[in-house]
Amino acid sequence: MTRPPDSLVEDAMRALADLALDATAPVSTSDLGVEELLLVRAAGFRPLGLVLGCRVVHAKRRQAGRWADSRELGTLTTAISLAREEAMGHLQDEAARLGADGVVGVRLRVEGLGRGGWGPDQAEVTALGTAVVASPAAAVPEGGWRQPAGRPFTSALSGQDFWALLQAAHQPLGLVLGSCVQHVGPRDPGTVLAALGRNVELPAYTRLLYDARELALQRMQTEARGLAADGVVGVRLRQGGDSWGGDSWGAHTWEFLAVGTAVRGWHRTEQPPAPQLVLGLDDRQRG
């Protein structure tokens, strides 16, 4: 089966045949996917390299206080929040050393506590993202791309969302999060007896869910305020979290975590694009 030569693939193959090795050429790595990479470039940014930060924390899950009481485990909240903060800080430092304006596609994960090789009581916090620099030709928001403190911005948004956010005349400022590690006590004998054989609400637990979520969200908002943000997009509220479960204590120790990206609007003359109706040919289910 022979077909007429194609100018696109002709150009590509000629480039491939003429490739020259250059030991000093600048090389960028990223953990962006194909579409993400193209969209980040289309948004006027150039990836500089993969940046990361890791912290391993020992968590003492048995805390002082009555086991039967439901309450926040302050030490654990502080320790895990600090570890996340430090991992993010290291990621930002690496990005700053590369001369980046920000880090996109940041993934912040907590793993361990019973799984993985660090032992049953250790949690590993990993932050991974792609450092990017704005091209000189691109429009710059009034305050610049960096955070108010002069550090590179961080964004938990995918390349697609990053592009869409910029199109909507907003800039990402930082990945913000709020956490609350909560001990969920058992029901007291009174409620157990009262609910015997009946289908009833357990109001104490309902209230606990409200309180813990509210705490996590508030803490996230406080972080966003510190960055002088207008709002937070892409907030994900995670509850429980597999990383805290896994043993007999885990069922009673829950983490409520809110993660989002703080954004600020800026004046742009162009109009945001009108959404279009498209027929996607990418069948993600089958790959």
Nearer to other proteins, 146 or 187 (CB): 187
> Count of residues binding other proteins (CB under 8 A)?
100
Nearer to other proteins, 17 or 193 (CB): 17
Report d(CA 126, CA 84) in Å as an integer.
Answer: 8
Nearer to other proteins, 181 or 215 (CB): 181
40 part of the interface to other proteins, by CB under 8 A? no
Among 157, 162, 163, 243, binds other proteins (CB under 8 A): 163
55 part of the interface to other proteins, by CB under 8 A? yes
Token output for 225: 């305020």
Interface positions, 9-28, toward other proteins (CB under 8 A): 9-17, 19-23, 25-28
Nearer to other proteins, 83 or 227 (CB): 83
Among 89, 141, 148, 240, binds other proteins (CB under 8 A): 240
Nearer to other proteins, 226 or 241 (CB): 241
Interface positions, 247-266, toward other proteins (CB under 8 A): 251-252, 254
Q: In the Cβ-directed half-sphere of 267, how many Cα atoms lie within 13 Å?
A: 2
Residue 97 beta carbon to other proteins: minimum distance, rounded to whole angstroms: 12
Report d(CA 106, CA 127) in Å as an integer.
Answer: 7
Token output for 220: 């996230």
Q: Any idea what DSSP says for residue 281?
A: -
Among 98, 151, 214, 238, binds other proteins (CB under 8 A): 238
The residue among 141, 37, 123 whose CA lies nearest residue 82 is 123
Residue 228 beta carbon to other proteins: minimum distance, rounded to whole angstroms: 27
Report d(CA 127, CA 13) in Å as an integer.
Answer: 38
Return the SS3 of 78.
Answer: helix
Asked if 153 and 145 count as a contact pair (C-beta separation under 8 A), the reply is yes
285 part of the interface to other proteins, by CB under 8 A? yes
Interface positions, 168-227, toward other proteins (CB under 8 A): 184-187, 202, 205
> Pairing relation of β-strands 153-154 and 102-112?
parallel
Q: In the Cβ-directed half-sphere of 205, how many Cα atoms lie within 13 Å?
A: 12
Beta bridge partners of 170: 265
Interface positions, 136-155, toward other proteins (CB under 8 A): none
Q: In the Cβ-directed half-sphere of 65, how many Cα atoms lie within 13 Å?
A: 15
Interface positions, 58-97, toward other proteins (CB under 8 A): 58-60, 62, 75-76, 79, 82-83, 86, 90
Among 67, 97, 99, 116, binds other proteins (CB under 8 A): 116
